[in-house]
Amino acid sequence: MPVSRHSLSLDVGLCLRESRCPVCAAAENGLQGFFAWFAIETYADPGLMRRLSRGGFCPDHTVVVEKMGPMVSRTFESVIASRRHRLELILDEAGKMARTRPGWLFLLARKLAMTKALAKIKTSEPCPACESAKGAASFAAYEVAAFLSAETNRSLYASAPTLCWPHLTAVVKVSSPALSLFLAGCHLRQMRIWHTECREYFRKSSYQYRQEPRGPEQYTWLQALRFFCGLK
């Protein structure tokens, strides 16, 4: 793959200052790199062609490829040819078994063998775009851990803990115990603030306080929703 999935360098400090999860940003960079390359070079990559022939894109990334239009015709002509060949082989193998005339003792064995042959139809490769994003995110988790290993960078994170929950757990997995404790402490403070805001929201919801102006507490549920699923 000519464009490395990690070629778009990650500026952890900038992401933190912009209140973006740096690992989400890296995953997004990985996806952009994948699709930039996919648009021009796919057909020349036998590895990817094989993966597309045995798997395909997930629904989210199918929509992205769909928007590329007929420029992907050559790629899918190759995918169709490969699938056609594979189906012919599978049906040939299963058909041969169906035509054999074994004794009744072998009926079960024949059924199992046919089931095994037909099971090769099953998709066996994950979405290549998702895999690119996952690879970039795994790499970025190490970069974030390295960045926060420097004590001087921690105040930046403490003031705005921007890792989403899935990537917080990914970074903790590759962090030292001291850094993991620091991260857990930052997010505990964040949970306490959000919890206070939630209570404030319900306080202002009661009739006697209805005249008080609404503040950030009205969006806390949304922040939490995005934080826990990784859509920060």
Cβ 47 to Zn ion shortest distance, Å? 17
Among 44, 42, 110, 117, CA closest to 86? 117
Residue type, 215: G
- Where in 148-167 is the site for Zn ion (CB under 5 A)? 164, 167
Q: Nearer to Zn ion by C-beta: 187 or 204?
A: 187
Q: Which of 15, 53, 61, 171 binds Zn ion (CB under 5 A)?
A: 61
Does position 130 interact with Zn ion (CB under 5 A)? The reply is yes
CB 164 within 8 A of CB 137: no
Give the Å distances, CA to CA, from 167 to 1, 108, 163.
26, 48, 6
For 29, the 3-state DSSP assignment is: helix
Q: Is 183 in the site for Zn ion (CB under 5 A)?
A: no
Q: What secondary structure does DSSP assign to 92-117, as a single string?
A: HHHHHHHH----GGGHHHHHHHHHHH
Nearest distance from C-beta of residue 48 to Zn ion, angstroms = 13
Cβ nearer to Zn ion, comparing 33 with 117: 33
C-alpha span between 153 and 156 (Å, rounded)? 6
Least Å distance, CB 168 to Zn ion, is 8
For Zn ion, the closer CB: 23 or 145 = 23
Nearest to 121 by CA among 49, 46, 54: 54
| 58 lies in the site for Zn ion, by CB under 5 A | yes
Does 23 engage in binding with Zn ion (CB under 5 A)? Answer: yes
Q: Give yes or no for residue 21 binding Zn ion (CB under 5 A).
A: yes
Which tokens belong to 139?
């790499």
Closer by beta carbon to Zn ion, 143 or else 200: 143
- Give me the residues that bind Zn ion (CB under 5 A), please: 21, 23-24, 58, 61, 127, 129-130, 164, 167, 230
